[in-house]
Every structure is written in C-alpha cells, then in structure tokens.
Amino acid sequence: MSIIEARNIERSFDDLTVLSGLDLDVAKGEFLAIVGRSGVGKSTLLAVLGTHDLDHGGSLRIADTATGELSSSELAALRRKYLGFVFQDFHLLPSLTAMENVILPAVFSGGTLEEARAQAEKVLDKLSVRTNETPTSLLSRGERQRVAVARGLVNNPSVLLADEPSASLDEESEKILFDLLDDLRRQQNFALIAVVHSTAVLHRADRILELKDGILHEVV
Ligand SMILES: Nc1ncnc2c1ncn2[C@@H]1O[C@H](COP(=O)(O)OP(=O)(O)OP(=O)(O)O)[C@@H](O)[C@H]1O
Ligand SMILES: [Mg+2]
C-alpha cells in the first residue's frame, strides 16, 4: 500500500497552471527526490501533498484516507499523525529553545507535556542538538536545521516532507544532515519526499522525479 496516493492533481493560480494532471504514489520508507527548475511548482506540490494547500483538483489519499472528505479538524489530526515538515528557512520560533521548538508539535498532537518532552528529548538526542539554546543565540545553521528536522520527526510521522532542507548548508553540514536522515529513516521507516538540488544528495534517493509541465517525470 502506498502511504501517499495522488491522482490527477490540478493546481492553478489565476491563469497560471502549475500542477496539471499529476499522479504520484509514494511507498513507505522510500526517499523520493523532487527536482525541477525554479518556479515550476515544487513547493506548491509539497503544500498540496502536505494538505496545507487544499485548493486543488484531483484526489489525495494519505495512509488510505481520502483527504477531500475530511473536515478541517479531521485533516489537522491526519496531518499530525502522519506528516512531518521541514521548511527551507527552518520556521523556528526564535525566542524558544531548541527543546521548546521541538516540543510544540508533540504538545499539539495531544498527550501530556511529559510525554511530549520525552519524545522531543529522544529525537534531539539522536540529532545531537544542544537542547537549551535558542536558534538565534548559539546554534549554527547546521544545528538549526537539525532542530527543524527534529521538530519534523517528533511525532514519528510516516512521511517527512522537506523543501530544500540543505539549501543553506555547506557540503559537510549537508552530508551530516542526510547521513542522519538516512539513519533515522532506517530506524523509523518514514518516507522522505524532498525537493533536492545537490547531486550528492540525489545519489542517495530511491527515485528522482522531475516536475515539468505540471506532472512528474521519472529521471533515469
Ligand atoms: N500563492 C500564490 N499565488 C500566486 N502564484 C503563486 C502562489 N504560489 C506560487 N505561485 C506561483 O506558482 C509557480 C510555482 O511556484 P513554486 O513556489 O511552487 O515553485 P518552485 O518550483 O518551488 O520554485 P523554487 O525552486 O524557486 O522554490 C510560480 O510561478 C509562483 O510564482
Ligand atoms: Mg520552492
């Protein structure tokens, strides 16, 4: 069973058609790299797959649930249960510590603060992040990115959606980040759908798909 199944996805902004009849199946645990020129619609696609953008045509199933039939609260619950996100510019809250940033989604997903803290500690420890620093103070870009990854993984998602997660990192930090993601993926078996530019990272992917003319093309 695919963890994500997208059929005939359409997305336009006024008269600009970005996604046009796009189909995609994502298997559990796979690393799917998405490439394509700037402005082609990669971020739009991730927003649709992540259920942040609901203004699309076609159908989307996540973990065998048709998202189009859900109320907004059911959709939020589905998102918290199955999806994790890493944004290009981190979206960390600057006045909170690394630990607090990572705890937040765990708190929103229910359960006690203690449970959320334990989960956050576990994933931050795996990612070797200093938990009590705030993103603006002592954390390097590489560390901030690892905090963003920890936050994306704290609810143990089935799918991690990442938009150019290493865009602002040097080669060494990028390698460290993807080594970690490979290890964590093996342990937790989440699918990784990432917009990727670097060839070093593309080599790690199970599949590379190019977004072009509104649909995905297999890159060989
Ligand atoms: N909210 C919006 N309103 C209008 N147009 C939009 C909106 N979001 C995206 N677009 C347009 O849709 C197209 C695709 O944008 P998108 O950000 O998905 O591209 P991208 O492939 O992620 O580009 P990049 O590689 O530069 O990040 C662009 O032409 C963009 O201007
Ligand atoms: Mg983009």
How far does residue 118's CA lie from ligand 2's centre (Å)? 33
Q: What is the 173 CA–ligand 2 centroid distance (Å)?
A: 21
- 158-181 pLDDT, tens digit each: 999 999 888 878 888 889 889 989
Ligand 1 pocket residue status of 43, Cβ below 6 Å: yes
Is 36 touching ligand 1 by the criterion CB < 6 Å? yes
Q: Per-residue pLDDT tens for 134-161? A: 776 667 778 888 888 888 988 889 999 9
**What percentage of the chain reaches a pLDDT higher than 70?**
98
How many other β-carbons are positioned within 10 Å of the β-carbon of residue 72?
9
Alpha helices, DSSP H, located in the chain: 42-49, 72-82, 98-108, 113-126, 141-153, 171-188, 199-202
More confident residue, 111 or 64: 64
Map out the domains of the chain with their CATH numbers. 2-218 (3.40.50.300)
